[in-house]
Amino acid sequence: MASLHILYIAYPLLTVSAESAGGAEQVLWTLEREVAGRGIHTTVAASTGSRVAGELFSTGDPCTQPDDYERRNREHQENIIAFLRRQALTGQPFDLIHDMSGSFWSRAREVDVPVLATLHLPRSFYSPQSFQDVPPNVSFNCVSHSQACSFRDLKNMLGVVSNGIALECFAPKQAANEDGNRRQRRSLLWLGRICEEKAPHLALDIANRAGLPLTLAAQIYPFSYHQQYFEREVAPRLQQMPMATFISSPSFEQKRALLQEAQALLITSQADETSSLVAMEAAASGTPVITFRSGALPEVVRDGVTGFVVNDADAAVAACGSVANINPAKCMEHARANFSSAAMADGYAAIYDQVAGSTSADVAKLRMLGKR
């Protein structure tokens, strides 16, 4: 039997790489890297310039102009449909499509391939029409148990596969002090995408009230309302806070260094987060997290062990004075036990076995490779 061939479909807006800011892009990069490393044939449909472990099918240039998502997404999907049909005609069809784009699965009737759609967003972020008349070759999975609770009514829901990270990319070069001493770390950190629901302006307010410096390392996606939010809420605060530093679109090396050097990571999201890769990366770096009690964040951050889960800004300010009580070694131990990319790949291998059907022998090989 020929080797299993999986097509991963990326979110169309920007490129996929280690530098990706979006959670769906980061999960795809990490998972595809892990699966390809186990000898499985992988192809990624993504924007030109993406860097993947297997083959790249470029669907078009990433967006550079504001509010160009609808046009880019149509181009992305049309090119993928044409690509799949060419592959079928040449006798090289895919065994499985893993859709991380958030929308391609709605066109699954146009292809004769089983589709697994990973739902990365809260239920409220999808239109009610999204889950009406779902194509019969589509199955779904969630990325956390709190998220799955809101999708209980969805047919063909195959369960939860928790996100994972490439742990080896974040572990400090030198072991953290067992006593949790972080006197050498003096700056708070906020890391992610600039948008209203992520609320970086609240991180600036918390740092200001705590009297601590803050590094805001972030990317602004090409949406006018994201830019307007930055100019309205974030830029004025940066100008008024001499101890605040802004780093635009940090490289992966910058991101890793910032996580390892931060006193604590602030997560100020106002959305029902379905996961938090940056919280996982902080734990793997030995850095505590201070987060609002939002969605799945209490599943990721172990209160009092890897950081503090708080209810409001007042509690977040108070928690800034307690981060020295968090032991970096315990953070890294928790990350190794719960957030590995290998465990994520094992979870998806089990679901691929359900979705791919006739290729189950190859999926079994994928699962066995993960146990070595």
- Determine the Cα–Cα distance for residues 55 and 57; give it in Å rounded to an integer: 7
Residues 142 and 188 in one domain: no
Question: Would strands 214-219 and 244-248 be described as parallel, antiparallel, or unpaired?
Answer: parallel
Domain residues for the domain of 357 are: 5-164+340-370
pLDDT at 365 over 60: no
pLDDT at 359 over 70: no
pLDDT band at 69 (very low <50, low <70, confident <90, very high): very high
**Percent of the chain whose predicted confidence (pLDDT) is above 90:** 86
pLDDT at 1 over 80: no
Residues 179 and 322 in one domain: yes
- To the question of pTM greater than 0.75 for the whole model, the response is yes
Residues 255 and 273 in one domain: yes
CATH of the domain at 229: 3.40.50.2000
For the chain, the domain total comes to 2
**Average pLDDT over the chain, rounded to whole?**
92
pLDDT band at 146 (very low <50, low <70, confident <90, very high): very high
Residues 107 and 180 in one domain: no
The mean per-residue pLDDT over the stretch 312-329 comes to 97
pLDDT in tens, 37-57: 999 999 999 999 999 999 999
Residues 149 and 33 in one domain: yes
Residues 175 and 308 in one domain: yes
Contacts of 120-126 spanning 24+ positions with Cβ under 8 A? 120/23, 120/24, 120/27, 120/274, 120/275, 121/274, 122/147, 122/150, 122/271, 122/272, 122/273, 122/274, 122/295, 123/147, 123/150, 123/151, 124/272, 125/271
Rounded to 5°, angle at Cα 287 from 281 and 293 = 75
Please state which of the ranges 17-21, 44-48, 251-255, 277-281 shows the lowest mean pLDDT. 17-21
pLDDT at 270 over 80: yes
Q: Which residue has the tokens 């990366």?
A: 281
Residues 181 and 236 in one domain: yes
Nearest Cα residue to 283 out of 337, 319, 321, 325: 337
pLDDT for position 172: 81
Identify which has the larger pLDDT, 363 or 1. 363
Nearest Cα residue to 45 out of 5, 91, 79: 79
Residues 331 and 350 in one domain: no
Nearest Cα residue to 289 out of 314, 310, 311: 310
The mean per-residue pLDDT over the stretch 209-218 comes to 97
Residues 242 and 300 in one domain: yes
pLDDT for position 174: 58
Residues 113 and 82 in one domain: yes
The mean per-residue pLDDT over the stretch 11-40 comes to 94
pLDDT at 277 over 70: yes
pLDDT for position 366: 59
Residues 199 and 330 in one domain: yes
Q: What is the DSSP-derived secondary structure letter of residue 191? A: E
Q: Which helix (H) or strand (E) holds 56?
A: strand 55-58
Residues 219 and 118 in one domain: no
Burial 184-209 (b: 16+ CB within 10 A, else e): ebebbbbbbebbbebbbbbbbbbbbe
